[in-house]
Structure 1
Amino acid sequence: MRSLASIVLGFETVLLALVTPVMISVAGVRPAVAVPVCLGLAVLAIVSAGLLRFRAGYVLGSVVQVGAVGLGFVVPVMFLLGLAFAGFWVAAMVLGRRIEQAKKAHQAQTGQAQTG
């Protein structure tokens, strides 16, 4: 689960960094507002990726998803991109849990076969 989540956050970091000039040039947001908001979310994504071995990393990652969708109020295309990454985030959580459960079941089955 952790590796899938870190991949999503890594790509989202790039997206959040690239939306900064879009906010400034297309949406007309002042650089003093756009830079801290977008790059702050990008830094938060990096920090949360580093904390994924703890529950706090997943909580911060979810905050990043909400922030990315919230940027859609300024740059409407971010509703679409933010929701896409939020979907990737949920998929990483669901698929990651399934993979971990399958690994545990396989290890338990393999361990029983070796002892039997």
Structure 2
Amino acid sequence: MRTLCASTLIGEFFVIGFAGLVAMKQPDLSAGTVWAVCGVAMALCVLLCGMLGRRGGLAVGWVLQAGLVLSGLVLPVMFFLGLVFAALWWAAVHYGRKVDQAKAARAAGTARTA
């Protein structure tokens, strides 16, 4: 699960960075504000890759997904991209758990035969 979730977060890292470049073109946003928000979100993506195995890591990931969707209030295209990444996050968590369960079952089966 951690590999799939981390891959999703790294993809989000780049999307947030590119969204920051687009947001700088908005006349009502200062570059400092844009990069403060985008920088925090990008740092959270990277830090969250290391927190995935810890308690609460997935919950923080869901908060990040909600923030990405809500960024559509500033850049409307982010509603779409946020929903795409929220779906990817769900798939990474859902199918990642299934893969982890299958690996555990295989390891238990191997341990019994040895």
With normalisation by structure 1, the TM-score equals 0.89
How far apart, in 2, do the equivalents of 1:62 and 1:55 lie? 13
Identity of counterpart residues, as a percentage?
35
- Structure 2 gaps of 5+ residues are none
Is 1:68 the counterpart of 2:68 in the alignment?
yes
**Alignment coverage as a number of residue pairs:** 114
Change in 2 beyond 3 A, CA 1:92/1:33: same
Relative to 1, partners in 2 of residues 1:91 and 1:27: Cα closer, same or farther, differing over 3 Å?
Answer: farther
| Contact 1:45 1:60 (C-alpha < 8 Å) held by counterparts | no
In structure 1, runs of 5+ residues without a counterpart are none
1:36 equivalenced with 2:36 (yes/no):
yes
- State the match for 2:20 in structure 1: 20
2: CA distance, partners of 1:19 / 1:64: 15
Is the aligned partner of 1:78 residue 2:84?
Answer: no
The answer on 1:99 being equivalent to 2:99 is yes
Contact 1:27 1:75 in 2 (8 A): no
Q: Residues of 2 paired with 1:47 and 1:59: CA distance?
A: 14
Deviation at residue 59 of structure 1 after TM alignment: 2.1
Return the letter of the residue paired with 2:105.
Answer: A
Deviations 1:38-62 (A, max 9, x none): 1211111111112112023222222
Partner residue, 1:7: 7
Displacement after TM superposition at 1:26 (Å): 4.5
TM-score when normalising by structure 2: 0.91
Letter in 1 for 2:66: V
Question: For residues 27 and 4 of structure 1, what CA distance do their matches in structure 2 show?
Answer: 37
Aligned-CA RMSD value: 1.5
Most deviating of 73-82 and 49-58: 49-58
- Show structure 1 runs of 4+ deviating over 6 A: none
Instruction: Kindly provide the CA deviation profile for residues 46-88 of structure 1, in whole angstroms up to 9, marking residues without a partner as x.
Output: 1111211202322222221111111101101000101101111
If asked which structure has higher relative contact order (CA below 8 Å, sep 6+), I would say 2
